[in-house]
Amino acid sequence: MFRHLSDTRRLWHAARVLARNDALFPKEYEALLPGWARLARRLLGSGRAKNEIAPPGVRLAHALESLGPAYIKLGQVLATRADIVGDEVAIALAQLQDRLPPFPMEQSRSVITHSLGRPVETVFSTLSEPIAAASIAQVHDGMTADDPPVRVAVKVLRPGIAAEFGKDLSAFASAARLAERFIPEAKRLRPIAMVDTLAVSVAIELDLRMEAAGASELEERTRNDPDFRVPHIDWSRTSEQVLTSEWIEGTPLRDRDALIAAGHDPKRIASLIVRNFLTQALRDGFFHADMHPGNLFVDSEGRLVAVDFGIMGRLDASMRRFMAETLAGFLARDYQRIAQIHYDVNFVPAHHPVETFAQALRAIGEPIFGRSAKDVSMARLLQQLFDTTHRFEMQAQPQLMLLQKTMVVVEGVARALDPDFDIWEASRPVVEKWMIERMGPEGRLRDAADGMSALGRAAQNLPQLIKNAEIISAMLADGGLRLHPESAMLIAEAQVERTRHVRIALWLSAGALGVLALAAMF
């Protein structure tokens, strides 16, 4: 009960803040709103925002930033769901700046001492004041206590952040459950799954060892890439609340003039960003999913250097093939092939004719040809593709949503460096290389070898499977299956817990129904 009241209070506060920023029921859509929504808009004080001139997406981004860390992360997830918030709002949310005031130096030193189990002085000979602060952590410039000392970047988790996130995530989950229960369209949009995705993402970000592992894996995968570099992790000075990595000397990507002054060609850097992102996604199925300008630098050798690995994306083999063939299909204007790959991965139900779906894809692709490069957005085209697939009953694919959100950011960064940047021509070599390597003879042989390996692993397990089957058959012949007493106890406890959750869910639903009934009376 107390959890429910806390969730309600937090959601009410968030609604008021969103309304004050005219981001809950934006004035641009007032004529389309039902009567109850227009009344709620007035009661909550919408339309008196200081940034009224800004577009709805920008106002929403400002409101989420003011609500704190969990809402910033929610905005980043919503940026991957243009099917919910719309294309323009998704693009605005993709630019969310995760910046907060730093916490005191004393607290930072205390976290380091407690987390590493050693006094700060024995770990770092020097530690600067915070040089950057975000919702989850802040970063210090430091020197190790080694001989000779090594310059490092020290990331420290914000004190109390886990508890704060837990409260807001609980409120999000309550709102998602009510939405799916009482709003029919919400079932297709899957807000519960979206909150679950957010919770998993936050859990990973709140353990800096996971971020360090992500950086380490990306470093390993890109070690031989000539134009991309990842800072090396200092594992001896890394823990759940502290991450220490190699210090990066480079020019920040957000300063185009500084890049030019340092002798770097913005057009070349723009191409590097897109090609490295696609290479990571297609070749490795593991990519940096937060490639905004604040996380990207160019070193003295002209290499692109990435930092902050709290949000990483993964694509399994089928999703990589889907992505590559989709892009290759648009490059070749082969809409029948694009349609077929959707059916091959069971994205579109078979009762929709593939020819009709191909026709819908042609309506997306043809308008982009013959237009100048600066007018053609790959991110927008992918979003139009996802919007079309929803009309053909395709459910949201979390892997692809994160990929598309990252594409929005990457494309924006590239266009800021080079307004005439042709993202299609930059992408073509990466896509074509992947197609040759994976779809050509060598790739098919490699796939066959992978299949034989999987068959071999299954064969290794066959004796145990046969033995298990014999045991089960004997138990059935001897009067039925018997569970170990500890297993039976665990199952009983799980059933009690599940029943308790069902009772709570029913109570909350009954309360929600009562509220809805009262609202209907008035």
- pLDDT tens sequence across 171-211: 888 888 888 887 766 666 677 877 887 788 788 889 999 99
Task: Supply the pLDDT for residue 186.
Answer: 67
The whole-chain average pLDDT of the chain stands at 79
Q: pLDDT higher for 394 or 241?
A: 241
Q: Virtual CA dihedral for 83, 84, 87, 91, nearest 10 degrees?
A: -120
Residues 6+ apart with CB under 8 A from 232: 219, 245, 246
| Terminal CA-CA length for the chain | 26
Catalytic residue numbers read 290
Task: Supply the pLDDT for residue 514.
Answer: 37
Nearest to 174 by CA among 512, 471, 480: 512
- pLDDT tens sequence across 347-393: 888 889 999 999 998 988 888 776 665 666 776 777 777 777 777 88
Taking a C-beta distance cutoff of 8 angstroms, is the pair 91, 61 a contact? no
Q: Residue range 320-328: average pLDDT? A: 87
What percent of the chain lies above the pLDDT cut of 90?
Answer: 31
Task: Supply the pLDDT for residue 48.
Answer: 55
Q: Judging by beta carbons within 10 Å of its beta carbon (0-12, 13-18, 19+), is residue 115 exposed, middle or buried?
A: middle
Nearest to 17 by CA among 55, 49, 51, 58: 49
Which of the four pLDDT bands, split at 50, 70 and 90, describes residue 504? Answer: very low
The CATH homologous superfamily to which domain 101-247 belongs is: Phosphorylase Kinase; domain 1 (3.30.200.20)
Cite the residue boundaries of each domain of the chain with CATH code 3.30.200.20: 101-247
In angstroms, the CA 200 to CA 116 distance is: 25
Residue 281: phi and psi, rounded to 5, are: -70, -45
- pLDDT tens sequence across 214-257: 999 999 999 999 999 999 999 999 999 999 999 999 999 989 99
pTM as predicted? 0.71
